[in-house]
Amino acid sequence: MPRKLPAELVTRLLREGLGPRAIVEHLREHEGVVVSPQAISTFRQRHTDVPPQHSTRRIVPWEVRPEHRTSGYRRAILAYHRRAEGKALSGEERRNLDHVEAKLRATDQVISYDPDEGWILVPARPGVDTGIIREPEASMTQSTPRPHQHSTTAAGAAAAAAAGAATAPAASPGSPTGTAGSAAPRDGVAGTRLDPWFGAYAERAHGMRASEIRALFSVANRPEVVSLAGGMPNIQGLPLEVIGEAMQRLITTRGTTALQYGSGQGDETLRERILEVVAMEGIAAHPDDVVVTTGSQQGLDLVTRIFVDPGDVVLAEAPSYVGALGVFRSYQAEVRHVEMDADGLVPEELERAIVAAHDAGRRVKFLYTIPNFHNPAGVTLSLERRHRVLEICRRHGVLVIEDNPYGLLGFDSDPLPAMRSSDAEGVVYLGSFSKTFAPGYRVGWVIAPHAVREKLVLASESAILSPSNASQMAITTYLETCDWKGQIKAYREMYRERRDAMVGALGEHLPSASWNVPDGGFYVWVRLPEGLDAKSMLPRAVTERVAYVPGTAFFYDGQGADHMRLSFCYPTPERIREGVRRLATVVNAESELVQLFGTSARPDADPRDAEYPSPDLA
């Protein structure tokens, strides 16, 4: 067991100007403590306000790699550094650099580096900033910065714009041909340097922020990284040749219909086929009860749109689907989480949450629940609890939104009856072909009471006019010509094998953690050893070529720092085992840091991790 890091001594040495390597040598020679320079750097970041040590090495952010040179500003940063090092520039590099320099001079701006926001545009200081790049002491480090220190996502833009034009806009520079630096205020519109239309946005748009996790996943999607993050189904097992021939016949024989506008409610034939699918979960309905949507995500958006006013309370499990939290926040709802356990949502906690909201004079519009193979928790709401949850919501006048993308993907048993099968008037059911067939078609559905269905159709028509006829007819053709039930059975076998690979690898490589063993679906919900923070650990994991989703992404209020979601649906069993092995090295290294100076997982102070997730996070 390593000796605990002498925090006061390390802090004093940092304040005296010693770098991490010098401190490592001092601790080894005088204190008998063996620690890595990375541990000292981590300690400085998390436990002190000491800035990084100054260095003459110029830094290039992790985003600026050959495969990311699409932004003129980023290419200009590279060219500027190359020129400063005496290296020759190509004609294209020189022209782009000249263009950027002229644009920044015209707008009195320079490019600077902020430790939290990455490369940003700031007002130039007359007589001080002579080039296009300002490199303050805080931007100089002894080593290449970690990925999370260079967030150049829209989150920075929103945060800076909220501070107003008087402060430096914390956002990544855009293209030289964009609007950055040309944001002259317009009549009646209070803009910023970065966005001249900032003052014109609706209030709800100001909450639309991406997070640094998006930037990390641009790296995590590289082939050398084992991604245990995304919820993408593995569609390689589909009979692609058969499907391709069927699609060709469809376009050849019915192309003029498939490529035309359709009904706002959706194709009637597909709605009839959807009822055959949901009958496997005990749902008996009429085709008129079904509204076809562009994926179940649009269905969730439509339901929220017609029910939620700003300030209304929405109840959701703790944790809950990241895409749902983003929708609720965009409509300015307040999400209150309800505790779960191994049998799903706890009915007593649900009633307590409803009563507490009512006592506070707040209106609960609906309960959002994923009863089968929950995303991300992996648990299933027991049959007995389904009846109790419905009874509680019926008694208190709370609508139930049942989101069920994974219901047919159980590994060892037949599907449980859907909640909609027990209460047709009190439940709105969301379904999708994305997990059981192919997400690329973007076809989902809502089954709703008659009056609710009418509102949903009107809302859908105002948003998209009609769902894609081509996608709907393709799904119908698949259901009518292919053995879709046999395909679902094959999926269940494949995902069971991958679940077993993940659980086995966790047991072998990460026994210090704890996790559930899901009976279906895509996800394992992992609790980290005490003191570890999944969000803080993610950049190091990406560096080790493995990715996951931190638990904070699945909470509205910043909980979940000690959890992570691991997905087993897409990687092969061999890749899963290798990914867990890599992850274990990261967890063990972080655990060593905890032993040294006692960090602890804290609630996320800015819980916006994946409010607006990229599709592969869903």
Tell me the Ramachandran region of residue 314: left when phi exceeds 0, alpha when psi lies from -120 to 50, beta otherwise. Answer: beta
The answer on 415 and 271 residing in a single domain is yes
Preceding amide of 571 cis, omega within 30: no
How many CB atoms are located within 10 Å of the residue 478 CB?
Answer: 23
pLDDT attached to residue 78: 77
Helix or strand holding residue 594 (H, E) = helix 573-597
Q: Is 195 within a domain? A: no
Give the mean pLDDT of 182-207: 68
Look at residues 430, 447, 481 and tell me which one is the last residue of a structural domain: 481
Q: Model's pTM, two decimal places?
A: 0.72
pLDDT attached to residue 464: 93
Q: What's the pLDDT tens digit per position in 34-50?
A: 888 778 888 887 788 88
Give the mean pLDDT of 143-155: 35
Q: Is the pLDDT of residue 602 over 60?
A: no
Task: Kindly list the distances between the CA atom of residue 231 and the CA atoms of 168, 309, 433, 542, in Å, as whole numbers in the listed order.
Answer: 37, 30, 14, 18
The answer on 245 and 229 residing in a single domain is no
Q: Is 188 within a domain? A: no
The answer on 523 and 396 residing in a single domain is no
Q: Is 252 within a domain? A: yes
Q: What's the pLDDT tens digit per position in 558-575?
A: 899 999 999 999 999 999
Q: Is the pLDDT of residue 515 over 70?
A: yes
Domain membership of residue 130 as a residue range: 66-180
Look at residues 440, 465, 481 and tell me which one is the last residue of a structural domain: 481
The answer on 371 and 249 residing in a single domain is yes
Q: Is 59 within a domain? A: no
Give the mean pLDDT of 591-600: 72
pLDDT attached to residue 411: 95
Percent with pLDDT over 90 in the chain: 53
The answer on 247 and 226 residing in a single domain is no
* Crossing angle (nearest 10°) for helices 573-597 and 37-47: 70
Q: Is 196 within a domain? A: no
Instruction: For residue 146, give both structure tokens.
Output: 């970690």
pLDDT attached to residue 181: 41
pLDDT attached to residue 499: 97
Q: Is 187 within a domain? A: no
CATH of the domain at 304: 3.40.640.10
The answer on 251 and 223 residing in a single domain is no
The answer on 518 and 435 residing in a single domain is no
pLDDT attached to residue 342: 95
The answer on 115 and 79 residing in a single domain is yes
Q: What's the pLDDT tens digit per position in 524-556?
A: 999 999 989 998 899 889 889 999 999 999 999
Look at residues 442, 466, 481 and tell me which one is the last residue of a structural domain: 481
How many structural domains does the chain have? 4
The answer on 495 and 573 residing in a single domain is yes
Q: Is 35 within a domain? A: yes
**Summary mean pLDDT of the chain:** 82
Give the mean pLDDT of 115-137: 66
SS3 percent helix, strand, coil of the chain, rounded to 5, is 45, 10, 40
The answer on 343 and 426 residing in a single domain is yes
pLDDT attached to residue 586: 94
